[in-house]
């Protein structure tokens, strides 16, 4: 949770706060290579996630894919895309942090993270499955949740910069929906697996403490999804200063 929610954002923060404003000419010179690498990261993370047998690793590689949208939003030098990138940083921390915590809840009970062994969790852990499904939909980018707004703004800003890049990114989002929903189907639904059935009374649903721990993350995901202006209005000034420091005409 610390890695996904905090440490993973330090690199993007360094780019926005220091690297680009201090070295604007270098930033523009290397913009296209970084954009290409961002798209490669988005695609690579999605493809590797599809074939992951481990629940935690799948979410980790999914994080790689989602963070590619952040660097893409930074280096297209658009106010819209940069706002989306920053919102995506915040949203990603909330969503992926919650997903890692939910994986930890299951691992504490089963001491295993293999997706193939987890079939039928909805029957034995219905509250966990419901909350996990919510965070999965948020990670996919369901409209009304914070994951949608950030990525949509990055799409809009990058489409104005390079339509082909935006189209490639949108196609990858279809892959994201594919591997996340497929993983959720295998973990939550179907008959209870022999592995889970063998755990007996050790396989209990989420405790009250675990649910209360996740509730603030879920609430913020909904609030920022329905009222993104709470963050976007605050970002207007800093984003304009960033673009001016980067030597870019404001209004992109």
> Which tens digit of pLDDT belongs to each residue from 171-211?
877 888 888 999 999 999 988 888 888 887 788 999 999 99
The pLDDT, as a whole number, for residue 133 is: 95
Return d(Cα 172, Cα 174) in angstroms, integer.
Answer: 5
| Region of poorest pLDDT, from 116-120, 201-205, 221-225, 246-250 | 246-250
List, for residues 12-70, the tens digit of each pLDDT value.
Answer: 999 999 999 989 998 999 999 999 999 898 888 888 988 899 999 999 888 888 888 99
**Contact partners, residue 23, CB within 8 Å, separation at least 6:** none
Average pLDDT over residues 211-222: 95
pTM above 0.85, yes or no: yes
| Domain ranges across the chain | 2-245
Give, in degrees to the nearest 5, the angle at Cα 159 between 218 and 63: 35
The pLDDT, as a whole number, for residue 250 is: 38
Return d(Cα 99, Cα 111) in angstroms, integer.
Answer: 17
pLDDT band at 214 (very low <50, low <70, confident <90, very high): very high
Q: Higher-confidence residue: 7 or 186?
A: 186
List, for residues 137-170, the tens digit of each pLDDT value.
Answer: 999 989 999 989 998 999 999 988 888 888 887 8
The pLDDT, as a whole number, for residue 172 is: 77
Average pLDDT over residues 71-97: 93
The pLDDT, as a whole number, for residue 160 is: 85
Give the helix ranges, DSSP H, for the chain: 2, 8-14, 20-22, 24-29, 31-50, 55-75, 79-110, 121-124, 126-140, 146-161, 163-188, 194-197, 208-226, 229-245
pLDDT exceeds cutoff 70 at 249: no
pLDDT exceeds cutoff 90 at 75: yes
* CB distance 169 to 69 below 8 Å: yes
Phi, psi dihedral angles at 54 (to 5 degrees): -105, 130
DSSP conformation class of 201:
G
């Amino acid at each position: 949770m610390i890695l996904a929610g905090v440490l993973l954002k330090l690199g993007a923060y360094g780019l926005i706060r220091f690297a680009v404003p201090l070295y604007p000419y270098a930033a523009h010179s290397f913009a296209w290579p970084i954009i290409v690498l961002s798209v490669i990261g988005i695609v690579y993370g999605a493809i590797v996630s599809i074939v992951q047998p481990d629940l935690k690793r799948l979410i980790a590689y999914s994080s790689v894919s989602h963070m590619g949208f952040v660097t893409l939003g930074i280096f297209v030098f658009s106010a819209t895309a940069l706002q989306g990138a920053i919102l995506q940083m915040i949203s990603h921390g909330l969503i992926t942090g919650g997903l890692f915590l939910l994986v930890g809840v299951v691992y504490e009970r089963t001491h295993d993270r293999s997706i193939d062994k987890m079939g039928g969790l909805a029957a034995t852990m219905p509250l966990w499955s419901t909350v996990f499904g919510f965070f999965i939909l948020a990670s996919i980018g369901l409209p009304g949740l914070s994951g949608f707004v950030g990525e949509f703004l990055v799409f809009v800003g990058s489409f104005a910069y390079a339509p082909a890049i935006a189209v490639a990114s949108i196609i990858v989002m279809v892959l994201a929906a594919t591997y996340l929903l497929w993983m959720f189907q295998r973990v939550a639904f179907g008959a209870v697996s022999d592995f889970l059935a063998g755990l007996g009374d050790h396989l209990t649903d989420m405790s009250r403490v675990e649910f209360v721990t996740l509730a603030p993350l879920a609430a913020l995901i909904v609030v920022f999804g329905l009222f993104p202006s709470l963050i976007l209005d605050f970002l207007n000034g800093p984003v304009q200063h960033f673009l001016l420091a980067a030597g870019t005409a404001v209004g992109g």
